[in-house]
Amino acid sequence: MDCYVYYRVSSGHIAAARQAVARRFALAAERFGVRGRLQWRADASANDVAAAAVTWMERYDGVDAAFVTALPELARECGLAALVDGGLHIECFVDAPNPCA
């Protein structure tokens, strides 16, 4: 299962949020052997512009349910939860079966 975590970071919290994400990635690697990737929107949405914020997304590939369950606590532990606007949104996806198989 692949997991995507997206959230909005205000322009005043960018540096602190980057440090918090680095800590969260370190915790994920240490506790679950999972490597994360950080991305942000290539084009600002109208909501981002109005809020002077940027939408970020973390991506974790090949994770299990225990890792997904731990994500909110990892966000609190590393300080990220206090820096995002509107909370963290977590969505998980699995590969679709090959229709030609």
Whole-number Cα distances in Å, 79 to 16, 27, 89: 9, 12, 16
Residue 99 lies in a domain: no
pLDDT digits (tens, 9 = 90+) for 7-56: 999 999 999 999 999 999 999 999 999 999 999 988 877 877 777 889 99
Residue 44 lies in a domain: yes
The CATH number of whichever domain residue 63 belongs to comes to 3.30.70.260
By C-alpha distance, which of 62, 61, 92, 88 is closest to 77?
A: 88
Residue 50 lies in a domain: yes
**Distance of alpha carbon 75 from alpha carbon 56, whole angstroms:** 14
Residue 47 lies in a domain: yes
Residue 32 lies in a domain: yes
Count of domains forming the chain: 1
Please tell me whether the overall predicted TM-score, pTM, comes out greater than 0.85 for this model.
yes
**Distance of alpha carbon 72 from alpha carbon 30, whole angstroms:** 16
What end-to-end distance do the CA atoms of the chain give, in Å?
20
Domain membership of residue 22 as a residue range: 2-93
